[in-house]
Structure 1
Amino acid sequence: MTAPETPESSDQPAAPKRRILPDTRPLAIPAYRRIFVSGVATTIGSAVTAVAVQQQIFDLTGDSAWVGISSAVALVPLVVLGLFGGAIADTYDRRKVLLITSTGIAVTSIALWLCAFSSAESVWVVMGLLAAQQGFFAVNMPTRSATLPRIVPRELVASANALNMSVFAVGVIVGPVLAGVLLPITGLPWLYFLDALTLIGALYAVIRLPSIPPTGDREGRAKVSEGLAYLRLRPLLLMTFVVDIIAMVCGMPRALFPQMAEDTFGGPPGGGAALGLLNAALAIGSLLGGLTGGWIQRVHRQGLAILAAIVLWGIAVTAFGLTSILWLAVFFLAVGGWADLVSAVYRSTLLQVEATDEMRGRLQGVFTVVVAGGPRLADLAHGLVASWTSTTVSVVGGGILCILLTVVAGWWGRSLRDYDSRTAHHPS
């Protein structure tokens, strides 16, 4: 067994007194640095591909309904295989799982490039390749997250998560912008080629990871049901999912952005600057949160921080729903994105440090399903409420409900509210 390249906690330098800048100490660890580099390439490349797939399907069909269907096609393997992907991560060497899934993602991108380059006319081929790629992502994501505590000392896990989520925010912003700039210059096929190149670079970083075999005395394959039973018996971990579902379902009004951009903020029909700013604002807030997150690793009452961040998210969404001034709307959404990053960093950290290693993959699989499914449920809920009432009622009502339910969850879930990383008993 090859030992992960992780310095012992006692050998770590004392934490510098950072007030604003992000804590970059995890990048000094070779194995984490490789995961980080592969994450940068995968995030930006996948964001470019997401734009390219939507454009290709619209070009083939001329119907936005097919673009919507493609989102459902992508969601199904992400949700279904997210749970099984976690079990795979707990059964096999995680480096090998990352290697196989990263290869699969790269191969499907190359296939999409060839499909576009040859001017294939079948929308079902494109959606089939998209579904296959999302299936590989569904296994790759929980494996990558479950790997983190094996290569980073416990006290740096929160800082490492903040760096990872900053990268994700950059991908959300840079990927679509890059695709929009390159599409009229290079054409659709070469967007896929760009994604394939970035993924090959990510694959090289994964190849250089140390072996990360499963721990414990497990015989046979890990079962998804074991992870769900484990979660039910640990209220602290269960509450992280409960409050995330509250935040996402009640307080994520992105499905209303097209209508609000036109009706509330005076944008042109079919999109425009207002729509672009609304869609980018959350990611901008998340990015700013990561770039000013040096304080994150110093907070010990992490459960209380999660609750406070989600309440702030609800306040920001409520304020967004009450304004008709575009720059104020962008500001409130950016505040919400900042709060969402803080909540996500601590929720991920709790899942990683408070679960035993042999269960981490499956819990990260559940995390993947919640993260993928919550916003889709929010799209449905906000869309229906807005159609029955108005966008203002839907957004403001959702924000207020988010605040109230989070307060109730904090009062009811003492394990989360009272959690202190200094006194918690961490499993091995």
Structure 2
Amino acid sequence: MGYRARVSHRLLDVRPLRVTSFRRLWVGTSAAALGGQVTAVAVLYQVWEMTGSPVWTGAVGLVRAVPLVVLGLLGGALADAVDRRSLVRWTILAQVLTALGLAAQALADVDSLAVLLLLVAAQASFGALGASAQRTFPVRLLGRRLVAAGIAIQHLSFQVAMLLGPALAGVVLGRWGLTAAYLLQAVAFLAALYAVLLLPAMPPTGPGSGRGPRAVLEGIRYVTRSPVLRGLYVTDLVATLLAMPIALFPVINEQRFGGSPETLGLFLSAVAVGGMAAGLISGAVTRSDRPGVVQLWAAGVWGGALAVFGLVGPLWLALASLAVAGAADTVSVVARGAAVQLATPDSHRGRVTSVEHVIGVAGPEVGNFRAGLVAGATTAAFAATSGGLACLAGIVLVAALNRSLREFRISRDIADDAGS
């Protein structure tokens, strides 16, 4: 392999964008992600303007999180029982209507916290119902070899939205106000809806799974019986529950770097920049035949980098360790997402993906809570370092005990290892 070929092999694999249906979907969902970030800032701004209370601004996260967890599992069961394109189409349409509702209440100056939070909860609920089905699209639209690359491209656009969305929200709110911010999200959802309408039908491929609690429990049982899936999710939980650092940023910033808000912003930006950099050079990762091994290494690097963050003094070294952690997180997310999709038969993919969705929502929140408790009982530095080291030890243990995860390969047919 020549030098140019080796470099190209390591850069972001853009081959999925040659598939017209995936390219349209990527553009639409990227627009929706950017609009979602704008709306998130707008809602916080409006709640603060109404109440002046940090308790109520914090309650916005709870209003979103509860339906994401509860209805996310139900959405997984629906994704295995109905046409996935239709499910996502209707849930996105409902999100368009809730965005218009948010714009209407802002334009009419309703000034009702209950109405605002109800609309936020409704939008989160519809998003949760369609999230699992939408996550299964890459494996239907792309060949097995391109699934990881497709997930990497989607994750990169989400990180760009995370980085640019709040800044865009500030400009829109400052110049045109709340109504314009919410209308921007409605237009973004329309772009996503257009892309989904042009997708091929995606009916269930297996026997009917049902749509209620029994179907949800069947999906959870499938995860617990599969060594590969169990290993993927346990690895993610070890990383988030034991080493999530966000809650420690304000304290460490205050104790080591003078409490400057600019420095606090650099902490968050460093994680995002590291993640984006990893996304741009993710070719070697997405072409790997062993995503389970990749996720284990990435989770170990995440833990090690955060242990270093808890110990170092110079600001540049703290930011560098956070950038490494952000890069490792991106690699882990891409590898896990590909492995989950490819280790699961299509008949169960919606429900298995919903478990991943719930873990992704709940794990970081609980991990931040753990970090805060440990910091309160000891110090923030100890909480960061001990959490990182505990994560590293946990990953080593998972790698030693789960041979199926270590040996899982994309090149093999889907291994129905449930019950093995």
Q: Where does 1:86-235 land on structure 2 (aligned, <5 Å)?
A: 86-218=76-208, 220-221=210-211, 223-235=215-227
Corresponding position: 1:318 with 2:310: no
Residues 20-419 of structure 1 correspond to what in structure 2 (within 5 A)? 20-218=10-208, 220-221=210-211, 223-268=215-260, 272-419=261-408
| TM-superposed deviation, 1:235 | 1.0
- Residue by residue over 1:310-339, the C-alpha shift from the partner in whole angstroms, topping out at 9 and shown as x without a partner, is 110011111111123333222211111111
In the alignment of these two chains, the number of paired residues is 410
Q: Which 10-residue stretch deviates more, 146-155 or 412-421?
A: 412-421
Gap regions ≥5 residues in structure 2: none
Whole-Å Cα distance in 1 between the matches of residues 162 and 209 of structure 2? 40
Shift of 1:197: 1.3
- The worse-fitting range, judged by mean Cα deviation, of 322-331 and 83-92 is 322-331
Q: Secondary structure at 1:18's aligned position in 2?
A: helix
CA deviations 1:344-393 (Å, max 9, x no partner) are: 11111111111110100001111110000001101211111111111101
The CA distance in 2 between the partners of 1:42 and 1:296, in whole Å, is: 26
Q: Which runs of 4+ in 1 moved over 4 A?
A: 423-427
AA at the equivalent of 1:80: V
Separation of aligned partners in 1, 2:228 and 2:119 = 38
Shift in CA distance, 137/324, structure 1 to aligned 2, threshold 3 Å: farther
SS in 1 for 2:159: helix
TM-score normalised to structure 1 length: 0.92
CA distance in 1, matches of 2:248, 2:346: 40
Name whichever of 30-39 and 89-98 sits farther off. Answer: 30-39
* Residues 1:56 and 1:343: Cα distance change in structure 2 (over 3 Å): same
Q: Could you tell me whether the CA contact under 8 Å between 2:302 and 2:324 is conserved in 1?
A: yes
Judge which range, 183-192 or 20-29, deviates more: 183-192
> Matched residues in 1 for 2:119 and 2:330: separation?
31
1:247-293 deviation digits (Å, cap 9, x = unpaired): 0111111012222223222233xxx2112111222222111111111
Task: Please state whether the residue corresponding to 1:217 is helix, strand or coil.
Answer: coil
Contact 2:250-2:259 at 8 Å conserved across structures = no
Cα deviation for residue 128 of structure 1 reads 0.9
One-letter amino acid matched to 2:240: M
Letter in 1 for 2:239: A
Q: CA deviation at 1:426?
A: 4.4
TM-score (norm 2): 0.94
User: Would the alpha carbon gap of residues 195 and 62 (structure 1) be closer, same or farther in structure 2, given more than 3 Å must change?
Assistant: same
- Taking a change above 3 Å as real, the CA distance of residues 425 and 357 of structure 1, as seen in their structure-2 partners, is closer
Give the aligned CA root-mean-square deviation in angstroms. Answer: 1.6
Distance 1:262 1:114 in 2: 41
2:41 maps to a residue whose letter is V
